[in-house]
């Protein structure tokens, strides 16, 4: 049984989607803990209701990024993680943290990487006149929003779209894609060669 630790900072809707899929699809894995850097993160309540262990490592209580990440790593280690899932976790992680959990950290980013790394992805896609947008699940490396791509989901950008309408369209796709991608990883169904990740069973890594 693999242990998944999910890191959140806020709403936690992707975390919810993963928790629900893990239970309803009887994965050979469990969400061992949900950890937030914000005490007020709404997602903590959902995890508590489900009987999942929660922890808060408040970044404001630590003088440096290194100190915060050291405490975060120690907290996560208590749950013997096989996989650390970033789900709306809004802190940059230090190289030391990323190296410690090499290829055991995944993230979901709300754009079609390598386009639009960083923040405000939907606004930037609309302002650029993009006709498609989407989200990417990728392994976390020291290169911000640039690790090997596990899966991508695409949606159209429609005339009249606002940041709110586009982000809602993308988010509903994220909720389908992220649980699938996490399940592939915990089942050992992915192979990586020269930075390219493929599903060994040939399942499509593109959600349209
Ligand atoms: C999602 O849009 C995700 O792509 C981004 O942050 C948002 C998190 O939403 N990384 P939620 O907390 O999972 O609801």
HSE on the CB side for 29, CA within 13 Å? 27
34, β-bridge pairs: 6, 54
State the closest ligand 1 atom to the C-alpha of 135, by its place in the atom list counted from 1. Answer: 4
Residues with Cβ within 6 A of ligand 1?
8, 10-14, 87-88, 108-110, 135, 171, 174
Distance 85 CA to ligand 1 centre (A): 12
Residue 202: how many other CB atoms lie within 10 Å: 7
Instruction: Kindly give the confidence (pLDDT) of every residue in the chain, 208 residues in length, as a single tens digit, with 9 standing for 90 and above.
Output: 999 999 999 999 999 999 999 999 999 999 999 999 999 999 999 999 999 999 999 999 999 999 999 999 999 999 999 999 999 999 999 999 999 999 999 999 999 999 999 999 999 999 999 999 999 999 999 998 999 999 999 999 999 999 999 999 999 999 999 999 999 999 999 999 999 999 999 999 999 9
Q: What span, in angstroms and rounded, lies between the C-alpha atoms of 187 and 119? A: 31
Contact 179, 137 (CB under 8 A): no
Backbone angles phi, psi at 27, to 5 degrees: -60, 155
Domains parsed from the chain with CATH numbers = 1-102 (3.40.50.170), 107-208 (3.40.50.170)
């Amino acid at each position: 049984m693999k242990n998944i630790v999910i890191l959140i900072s806020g709403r936690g809707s992707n975390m919810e989607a993963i928790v629900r899929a893990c239970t309803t699809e009887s994965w050979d894995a469990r969400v061992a803990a949900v950890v937030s850097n914000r005490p007020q993160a709404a997602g903590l309540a959902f995890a508590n209701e489900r009987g999942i262990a929660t922890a808060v490592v408040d970044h404001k209580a630590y003088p440096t990024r290194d100190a915060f990440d050291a405490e975060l790593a120690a907290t996560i280690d208590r749950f013997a993680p096989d996989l650390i899932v970033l789900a709306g976790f809004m802190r940059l992680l230090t190289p030391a943290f990323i190296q410690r959990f090499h290829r055991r950290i995944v993230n979901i980013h709300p754009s079609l990487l390598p386009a639009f790394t960083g923040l405000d992805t939907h606004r930037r896609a609309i302002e650029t006149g993009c006709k498609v947008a989407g989200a990417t699940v990728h392994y976390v490396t020291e290169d911000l929003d640039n690790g090997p791509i596990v899966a991508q989901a695409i949606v159209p950008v429609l005339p009249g779209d606002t940041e709110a309408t586009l982000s809602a369209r993308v988010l509903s796709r994220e909720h389908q894609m992220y649980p699938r991608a996490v399940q592939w990883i915990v089942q050992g169904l992915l192979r990586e060669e020269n930075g390219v990740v493929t599903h060994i069973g040939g399942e499509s890594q593109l959600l349209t």
